[in-house]
Amino acid sequence: MRSNKNSVITIFSLFLAVILTAMLGSGNVRADDVDVYVTSAKNSAMVVIDDSGSMSWPVYEAGFDYSNFMYWMVEQGLANDSKTLGENLLGNRKADNDFWDKDKDNFSPRYSGRTKNKDKEYDRLDPDQIYLVSSPVWLGEVTYTDSGGQTKTVSQLDDVLAHASSHNERDDWLDNPIVVLRNAAGDVWRLPPVPGEDTGEDTGEIILDTQVDLKDLTIEVETVSEGGEDKYYILFPTTTLDICEDELPEGCKSSDKWYSVTNTFGGQRLKTNQDVRLTNLVVDPRTGIVTDYGFLGALRTAGYYFAGVFEKSGGDIDFTDNVAEAETVGGVARVYVFATGRWLNFIKLVEDFQADSPGTPTDTTWTFQETLAWTNKHL
C-alpha cells in the first residue's frame, strides 16, 4: 500500500510530465497501459486537477489479491480485522459463524504454501466469481452519439466508494445481502479463465478477453447476429440466491437466517439502459490501444457493473427496474451491481482493517480514515 506522501509525489510527477509535453510540443507521449498520457497538443494544454475530498478515498486495483493481503497483514501483526462487514448482515450470523473463513480449519487450495492455522483466511468470496450486491447510490444518464451516428443513452452511477462522516455507501455493498448467481445449468457466474497461472500478484496488466470459449462460459448470454457477426448480450441470471442459502450445507449453518429472493428478470436482457455485450473490443486509431467496453471489460477493470435493477421497497430481496418502486436511503435508490469477489474483498479491506500502529492524522477532511490500514504509512 502506498503512503500519502508517495501518492502526492506520483500526482506531481504526472502533472510535470504533461506540462513538459505541452511546452516541448513533442507530438506523442506513450505509456503501456494509460491512454490519458497520449496527446497531440500544439504547445498548449489544459490540466484539470481534482483536489476534492473524494481524492482521499481508496482506488481499486483489479490485479491485486486482496484476500491474500488481508491474511498476510493479520499474520504479520500489521493490522487487525474490526469484523463489522458481512458478518452481521443476516440476524446473528456474526455471533454464530466466522463468515469470512469459508472452510474453517482447512486452508484454501489457492495457497498451497500455508501450513499453520494461526489466523483465519478470507476465502468466503471467490475473487473471480460474480455476485449481486446493493447500496444506495445516485443514478444518472449519459446520452451520446456512437461511431455509427446513432444516439444512445446509458446509465451512470455516482461514486460507489463514497464514505464521508455523514454517510457511507461503501459498507452497504457487504452489509446488504450478497447474492450468488447461477445459470440454467446450475453453474455459478464466474469470469472466464485466462491463459497463465494465477499467482495472486499485481502485474499491472489489464486482461483482455479477445477469445472467449463459450463452452467454458457460465455467464448467460443471448446470441444476436449483427452485420454478419455473432454478438453476445448479457442476460440477467436465471437463479439468484442469498449466499447463505446457496452454500448450505458446506457454508453457513442451517440455523443461520437468509433472505428469500424474488427474481422476475431471469433470462432477460439488462434493463435501465444497461444492455451490454459480453465483450466489445475497440481499437483507438491514434494509439492502437485496445479497450474492452463490454461486460467483461468492466468487471476486469472497475470490478463492478450496474445490473439495471433496484431493490424493491418492502419484502426480502425483490428486484425492480422501476426506480419509483425502489427502496431509498436518504432519498437515494438502492441499486444492484454485478461485482467480482475480488472487488468485494477490496471493500472488506478498506472498511474493516485497522492499523495496529496508526499514524498521525494529516487529512483534516477525513480524519476518521486515519486509523484504517490502507491509509497508514507503515503499510
For residue 357, what pLDDT is reported? 64
Query: What's 89-141 look like in SS3?
Result: CCCCHHHHCCCCCCCCCCCCCCCCCCCCCCCCCCCCCCCCEEEEEEEECCEEE
**Residues above pLDDT 70, as percent of the chain:** 69
Q: What angle do CA 279, 280, 286 make, to 5 degrees?
A: 140
33 shares its domain with 59: no
Of residues 197 and 164, more confidently modeled: 164
217 shares its domain with 356: yes
Q: Is the CB of residue 330 less than 8 Å from the CB of residue 136?
A: yes
pLDDT tens sequence across 11-29: 555 555 555 555 544 444 4
34 shares its domain with 182: no
List the beta strands (DSSP E) in the chain.
79-81, 130-136, 139-145, 151-157, 179-182, 221-226, 229-234, 239-242, 261-262, 281-283, 290-292, 304-311, 317-320, 328-329, 332-340, 353-355
Residue 192 in this model has a pLDDT that exceeds 50 = yes
Average pLDDT score, the chain: 78
80 shares its domain with 35: no
Instruction: Report the candidate in 101, 135, 120, 97 with the shortest Cα–Cα distance to residue 257.
Output: 97
Q: How far apart are CA 273 and CA 144, in angstroms?
A: 12
CA distances from 154 to 47, 123, 275, 302 (A): 27, 34, 9, 17
236 shares its domain with 346: yes
The model's pTM is 0.80
193 shares its domain with 70: yes
32 shares its domain with 112: no
Residue 341 in this model has a pLDDT that exceeds 90 = yes
Q: Which residues are 168's β-sheet partners?
A: 163
Q: Tell me how crowded residue 194 is: count the other CB atoms within 10 A of its CB.
A: 13
112 shares its domain with 179: yes
pLDDT tens sequence across 102-112: 766 677 767 76
Q: Which domain holds residue 184?
A: 50-375
Instruction: Report the candidate in 320, 351, 317, 332 with the shortest Cα–Cα distance to residue 159.
Output: 332
For residue 8, what pLDDT is reported? 46
For residue 144, what pLDDT is reported? 87
For residue 256, what pLDDT is reported? 54
Domain count, the chain: 2
pLDDT tens sequence across 53-91: 677 678 898 888 898 888 888 887 888 887 777 654 544
12 shares its domain with 115: no
Instruction: Report the candidate in 106, 157, 176 with the shortest Cα–Cα distance to residue 327.
Output: 176
Q: How far apart are CA 230 and CA 369, in angstroms?
A: 48
260 shares its domain with 161: yes
23 shares its domain with 140: no
**Residues above pLDDT 90, as percent of the chain:** 33
Mean pLDDT of 279-286: 91
Q: How far apart are CA 312 and CA 297, in angstroms?
A: 28
For residue 32, what pLDDT is reported? 46
Mean pLDDT of 121-143: 91
9 shares its domain with 156: no
Residue 99 in this model has a pLDDT that exceeds 60 = yes
Q: Is the CB of residue 91 less than 8 Å from the CB of residue 310?
A: no
Mean pLDDT of 184-202: 75
For residue 105, what pLDDT is reported? 65
Helix (H, G, I), strand (E, B) or coil at 365: coil
Q: Which residues of 8-18 are buried (b: 16+ CB within 10 A; e: fewer)?
A: eeeeeeeeeeb
Residue 95 in this model has a pLDDT that exceeds 70 = no
